[in-house]
Structures are given as C-alpha cells and as structure tokens.
Chain A
Amino acid sequence: MFDAFFVQQLVNGFSVGLVYALIAIGFTLIFGVLNVVNFAHGEVYMVGAYAGVVLITAWAPPLIAVVLFVMAVGAVAGFGLERLAFKPFRRFQDEASLKSKAMREATLLSSLAVSIIVREVVEKVFGGAMRPVPFESQLTDPVQIGELSFSTGQFVIFGAAVAMFAGLQFLLYRTRIGLSIRAVANNPLGAKYVGIDTDRTIIATFVVGSVMGAVAGILVALYYGSVFPTMGFAPGVKAFVAMVMGGLSSIPGAVICAIFLGLAEAVATEFLAQGWSEMIAYGFLLLTLIFFPTGLFGGARDRV
C-alpha cells in the first residue's frame, strides 16, 4: 500500500497543494474585504512567472533576488488591477453600495476583462508557446533521500510557502494594516467608524494577495521549467475551488483545502489516467456546493 511510489505522489501533491494555497490566499483575502471574486488573480500568477523568467533570462541573478523582484511586480500588478477593475465601481461612499450585488457583478466582468487583456498582451509579446526557463535556473535537480527522490523545487516551494504563511499571519495579526484588513472584512461599516481608510485597506489587500500569487507563479515556473500565457487558468480555478471548499473567507480553511486538493489529485493519478485527475477539483467543488454550501470550514461564516 505505502510503497515508495505512493509516498512520492503524496510529496508531489503536497508541493502542488502549497502552490494552490498561496494562490487561494489571495482569492480569500480579496473576497473577505470586498465580497467579490477577482477573476484576474490567475493572471497575476502568470505575470509573476513571466516577470521572473524575463529577469532570469536577462541577468540570471540569485534566486532570492528573483523572488524579491517578482514580489515587487506582484505588488504593482495588484495595485494596478484594483485601480483598473475594482476601484471604478466603488465611487459611491455609502455602505449599501460597498457590498452591493450590482457592484459584485460589475467587478466579476471587469476583472475577467482585465485577465483576458493581460493574457492576450503576454501572448502577443512573448508568443503563445511554452517558454522554457534557462536550464541552470530550473529547480529540477533531484535530491535522493532513501528510496524517495525529491526535486530542489519542492524544498524551495515548501520553504517559500511556510515563510509566506508566517509572514501573512504576522501581517494580519500584528500590524495595523493587517488589523485594518481583518476589520474591513469583518464589518466594513464598523471599520469606517474607527477611522479606517477603506480604499487604502482594499488596495493593501490586493497588493498582499497579488504578491503571494505572483511568488506562487515563479516558484511553479522554476519547478516545472516553463511558462506559458494560459498557465494561470488551471491553478486559478483550483485555488478558487479551495477557497469555496474552505468557506469563502477562511484563510486556514482555504489553505487546508488547497493542500488536500493537491494531495487528492496526486493520489488520483494512482488510479486514473492523467487527464481524469484534473476532474478531481471540479468533483470536489460540486460535492462541496451540494453538501456543504457554506464550505467545510465556513460553518460560522467567520471572515479571514
């Protein structure tokens, strides 16, 4: 039962799950403060990957410099995305429109539009084909431990994910901007009454979420060794599924469900053909929506 191959699959699935988790956190943070789904989040991931690869191709700097650069690109992308696709629908100051249905529907479409435009632009500039990461920079060196073989990318993903989760916890619980993000997510009207600048808080949320998404993008690019314009779609959908399964606005819930999804997909390749394992996430989404409409961890509708 627990042969080496199976354990190997679990390790691979865990790495993939951590990537889904990094993306899902961005979805969840933004859903928490605005009650909207940011459809361009997968493109932030893709842009992060491309930015990193472009930098590597040009100068081949050390990994840490690449990650810092991608974080900066993610921050700018998050800021720009908020200005372009979300802010224009927040002209009205009263609390009714802050979470109104019409606004939600408008930003669904505007973020979708931005995501398509970004994807098309990347395709025009870099071409639609897979673009390999320079071989020296790939994180695909095998690391043999007993019967198991890991790749360096898995260790880097693990380390980066743990660091970012810890950083996020610190931000949300120990800093003023983090407290503001949680306050706006919990009670937007109450947040106004304590003098929180809601607009700035929303921007900060987009920046934080997009930084995490962009880093996930470059990590995956280095791990798999290539980037392509539509690379954000599948992981984006799976992170979205993790968010829904986790209860829409629970970060721990989303992280746990994302890792679970990654593991489930990996285990499924034991029993199913490669193409079919892709169905796992969608199957879980349907089952969750039917049997746990508030998510597995969203019973109390607790936010962030």
Chain B
Amino acid sequence: MTHLLEIRDLRVTMGPQPILQGVSLDVPAGGIVTVLGSNGVGKTTLMRAISGVYKVGGGEIRLDGTPITNRTTHDIVRLGVCQAPEGRQIFSSMTVLENLRLGAGPRGGREYEQDLERMLGLFPRLRERLSQKAGSLSGGEQQMLCVGRALMGRPRLLLMDEPSLGLAPKLVRQIFDLVATIRETGTAILLVEQNAKAALRVADQAYVMESGRIVLQGPATELAEDPRIRAAYLGGHVH
C-alpha cells in the first residue's frame, strides 16, 4: 500500500556535518504522525528537507508515490504539502489578512473567500485582528496565524514544526485540539514536537529520532507506554 508521504533513507548534510543519516517514515492519508526527539537531533532539518528548503543528499521523498525529492519549495506547496515552520516565519510587517492571502497562493475569487471564512471560523481571534500587522500579535496568535496561513494552501499534508514551542499551557492545549480538528477535514499531519506527551495523545503513529536516525517507531499508544520513551521524554511518570 502506498502512503501519502513516504520517506526512504533520507540523508541531509550541512557542510561537513551529516544531519540526517538515513531517515525512513510514512504518513498515511488523513493520518497524524509525530516525530519526537530532543533538540538538535535533526527534526527541523527533516521538515525543511520535505518542503524542499534544504537540499537532500540521498534517499527519496515520495508524495502519493511520485518522487518530490529536491523539487523547489513552491512546487512542493503546489502539490499540496504546506508547512507551519519552526519560528513561524510569518510576514511580520504585513497584515494578518495579507498573510492569509499569501497562504492561499494563486487561488482567488469565491474559493478564496470561502477558505478565508472557514479559517476565521477556526481562528476567531484572527478575525478581530485582520487589519493589524502580524508582528503585533501575541505569540499564541502568531502561531494560529502560522497554521492558518499553511491551511489556506489547502494542503493534503500539513507539516507542523514545534507548534507548541514557547506557548502557555492553555494555548498548547488549544493547538493540539486544533490538530485534531484539522485531521477531521481529511488533511494528514506530520507533527514534530518536543512536547511528547501531548503529541502522543493526538498522533496515530510515532517515530523517535536520535542524532539523525529513527531509533524507535510504532503506534502512538504503544510508544506512550514504552518505558524507554517514558524515561527519556515523558518525565517517567505519566498515565
């Protein structure tokens, strides 16, 4: 069976430094897959390689069976892979509305209006701030805008890189509720997180990365019970 996203033996090197040393993973259509791991193991590099921001040195990335390795980022976005990247990368000097407009890409007219309406239903806070500069939003609102902007591209696969980073616990819960809501619309999600507990709760499948390699994988519920995971990522005492 082919998955929506298949990654086989992916290798990325930055200068002399190998960052990804043969990563393989699958994201089924409509599923949520999470990649766990501590800082600096290559999670963000993996996400950037999928989006075509980093050059891939070896291995293959396939979307619906078609190789997309080393295609340009705008091609990959057009094929339906959108990312809410690390650091948000919103357009801080442009308005919230302009950010969402840019996320929609070349789509215009009625379709765009409908998507915008749907997005503002999902993020009512953004509706109040449509004409504000994105840089003036709070951290949580900026994260909402970042996800909303990616969703405006009507992705089949949404890549989320550390969406809970730097957010208050209440906002973290909102973000993960949102992840569940997005999956109901049929969008598959690949979620990179340090907050393993929350990520394992929403995900179907989970992978654990260490120094550029996948060291553990399985259904999220099983990994949540795995003693190694509990010791390393869940503080050792989680129910």
Contacts and interface: CB of A to CB of B under 8 A. Distances in A.
Contacts of B93: 182, 186, 302-304
Contact of A195 (B54, B73, B92, B98): B73
Given A187-B89, A302-B93, A192 B102 contact: no
Interface in B77-135: 77-78, 82-83, 85, 89-94, 98, 101-103, 105-106, 108
Interface residues of B, number: 29
B126 to A, nearest CB: 16
A91 B209 CA distance: 31
Contacts of A190: 85, 89-91
Interface of A is mostly: helix
Interface in A142-195: 176, 179-180, 182-183, 186-187, 189-195
A197 interface: yes
A277 B52 CA distance: 53
B78 A195 contact: yes
B91 A192 contact: no
Contacts of A183: 91, 94, 102
Nearest to B90: A190
A94 B45 CA distance: 12
Nearest to A185: B93
A194 B85 contact: no
B77 A187 contact: no
Interface string B135-176: 000000000000001100100000000000000000000000
Given A93-B72, A183-B94, A189-B53, A195 B101 contact: no
Contacts of B55: 93-94
Interface residues of A, number: 23
A182 B72 contact: no
A179 B150 contact: no
A193 B91 contact: no
B53 A187 contact: no
B69 interface: no
B74 A195 contact: yes
A193 B92 contact: no
B94 A194 contact: no
Contacts, number: 74
Contacts of B103: 194
B89 A182 contact: no
Contacts of B82: 193-195
A196 interface: yes
Nearest to B89: A190
Contacts of A193: 51, 53, 73, 77, 82-83, 85, 89, 150
Name which of A176, A182, A187, A302 has the most chain B CB atoms within 10 A of its CB: A187
B92 A187 contact: yes
A186 B106 CA distance: 19
A194 B53 contact: no
A195 B90 contact: no
A189 B85 contact: yes
Contacts of A182: 91, 93-94, 98
Nearest to B152: A194
Name which of A94, A186, A192, A193 has the most chain B CB atoms within 10 A of its CB: A193
9 contacts: A93-B72, A183-B102, A190-B85, A191-B91, A192-B73, A193-B85, A194-B103, A195-B78, A195-B82
Top 6 A-B pairs, shortest CB-CB distance: A195-B77, A190-B89, A192-B73, A186-B91, A195-B74, A194-B102
Interface of A: 93-95, 176, 179-180, 182-183, 186-187, 189-198, 302-304
